[in-house]
Structure 1
Amino acid sequence: MAASPSLELPADATTAARHEKAPTVGERIPVHSAVCFGCADLPHGLRLQSWVADDVDGAATVWSRMELRADQQGAPGLLHGGLLTAAFDEVLGSVVALVTRPCVTARLETDFRRPMPIGSTLWLRGRVDGRVDRKLYVTGTAHLDAQDGLVVGTAQALFLKVGMEHFLRNSRPEDLEALGVPAERIRAARG
């Protein structure tokens, strides 16, 4: 069995600045897919809203907001921990998309620090700490009720830049066609 890729930022990592075509500071990051569990306005989704933040030490950064709802409970009155991990995956993916795309999550580790009561607002910050070739190293924090509120969770992740062929080969053809991808292109990617 292969070892999991390291989440530690390598010494040879470079700063991963925002792409010139990325939204600017203060702009809302648009929903990347109408069917996304993380950012789309779906009844069963997380409904995260994200904005480009000021770069921190030259690193791309985002802030995201999530209202904790009754249908997201694990223990009575508290957010299900898996949903915090899903929220981090969305937020960290959003900040990576400011630097380069398309990318996929290779590894994500979440540390839970405190319970998150339903009815609260969760503020999540994502930051690209560095890049080595196609690997992007990302960290996040989750704060309760304010951007400088109590830290209730942290995350580290490794994202990999991939080509569009990854999605053409692995997504369901009917979903790709619904997005306007020609059937011929899907067939060609699948060989």
Structure 2
Amino acid sequence: MQSLPKHGSCFVCGSPNSPGMGVVWYALDDNSIFAEVTLNDAQQGPPGFAHGGASAALLDEAMGAAVWLAGYRVASVNLNISYRKPVPLGQPFKVTARVNERNGKKVTAVGEIRLADETLAVSGDGIFVEAPQLFTGLGTGSRSADEAMEIRGTEK
């Protein structure tokens, strides 16, 4: 398992000293990613629970990180988020994501937030389009696209 690199002042995965969430993503051997996250009052929506936008931001970043790990420099163009249970503040939970498939310049991914008891709280899927010009000069720490698709058993 390897830690994915942080990039600057990203709202979700920027440095722990930034005003963002300070999430650290980890890559698994199957090319999926995960993070253990605990949100605080800065991400509150209803009293004691995370704002839906914070959950959406986590899934957007998780799915995007999984796509980056697969070797693609992308930007999200569509997210579908399903809220099943509220995410409590101050309690750890797990965020996971993986690449689903690639079709031309589009890459799809899926992600989920599970509470400590493994209850599915939020799930999502996203469409990402290659946009390397947006990320020039950024370190990646990714596997090659060929290696990633081989791990997943997916055609390019």
> TM-score with structure 2 length normalisation?
0.81
Q: Distance in 1 between matches of 2:68 and 2:25?
A: 12
Which residue number in structure 1 is paired with residue 11 of structure 2?
Answer: 37
Q: Is the 8 A contact 1:100 1:161 kept in 2?
A: no
In the TM superposition, 1:52-91 aligns within 5 A as 52-55=27-30, 60-91=31-62
Number of aligned residues: 137
Indicate which of 146, 160, 167 corresponds to 2:129.
160
Q: Distance in 1 between matches of 2:4 and 2:120?
A: 23
Give the structure, 1 or 2, with the largest relative contact order (CA under 8 Å, sep 6 or more): 2
Which deviates more from structure 2 when the two are superposed, residues 77-86 or residues 101-110? 101-110
CA drift of 1:163 comes to: 3.2
In the TM superposition, 1:117-132 aligns within 5 A as 117-132=88-103
Which residue number in structure 2 is paired with residue 151 of structure 1?
Answer: 120
SS at match of 2:25: strand
Could you give the per-residue CA deviations for residues 4-52 of structure 1, whole angstroms, max 9, x where no partner exists? xxxxxxxxxxxxxxxxxxxxxx011110x21111101244212111111
Stretches of structure 1 that go unaligned for 5 or more consecutive residues are 1-25, 169-175, 180-191
Stretches of structure 2 that go unaligned for 5 or more consecutive residues are 139-156
Moved over 2 A (4+): none
Superposition RMSD on alpha carbons, in Å? 1.8
Tell me whether 1:27 sits opposite 2:2 in the alignment.
yes
Give the letter aligned to residue 127 of structure 1.
R
Identity %, equivalent residues: 26
**Which has the larger strand fraction?**
2
Q: Choose 1 or 2 for highest CA Rg.
A: 1
Q: Distance in 1 between matches of 2:131 and 2:18?
A: 30
> TM-score with structure 1 length normalisation?
0.67
Q: Evaluate the alpha carbon distance shift between residue 89 and residue 42 of structure 1 in structure 2; reply closer, same or farther with a 3 A threshold.
A: farther
Q: Is the 8 A contact 1:139 1:156 kept in 2?
A: yes
Indicate which of 103, 109, 117 corresponds to 1:138.
109
Give the letter aligned to residue 3 of structure 2.
R
Give the letter aligned to residue 8 of structure 2.
A
